[in-house]
Amino acid sequence: MPRRNPRQGRVQRRKTGPNGRRDAFRCVGCRLDVPFSAPGTAHRNHCPHCLTSLHLDDRTPGDRRAGCRGRMAPLSLTVRPDGEWMLIHHCLSCGELSVNRIAGDDNALVLLRIAMRPLYGARLRAGMQKVG
């Protein structure tokens, strides 16, 4: 039996806000909608839930000049001399590294997991040395 309305389906979500500008983006990692506004930074460039980003910026934040447009995975954290945490992203397409400010609403548990990775690896290596 043929369908009565083959073209009728779900309505697409709005891609622009009430003022005509885009007010959110969809994360390539966890597929959640992420608002552009972020506490602590003027240019949100990563998802606050999974910390995944897209390779969009080339030289300066917000320039949107990178040709790669690859997925950037959170690799590590670094701390500036003033105590601010910075997130190091690794592009899975071109291999470039970039350093980004964390935002005030970033998932603290995910940030701590990334910060603990080197310690966990050292603990595993120490345990293997005792066995051998």
Phi, psi for residue 45 in degrees, rounded to 5: -130, 10
The tokens of 73 are what? 């995975």
Enter the pTM of the model.
0.68
Write the pLDDT tens digit of every residue in 86-103: 999 999 988 889 888 898
Write the pLDDT tens digit of every residue in 53-80: 888 776 666 666 677 888 999 999 999 9
Beta-ladder partners of 34: 25
Angstrom distances, CA of residue 57 to CA of 44, 70, 84, 120: 11, 11, 21, 32
pLDDT exceeds cutoff 60 at 15: no
pLDDT reported for residue 70: 85
pLDDT exceeds cutoff 70 at 119: yes
pLDDT exceeds cutoff 80 at 20: no
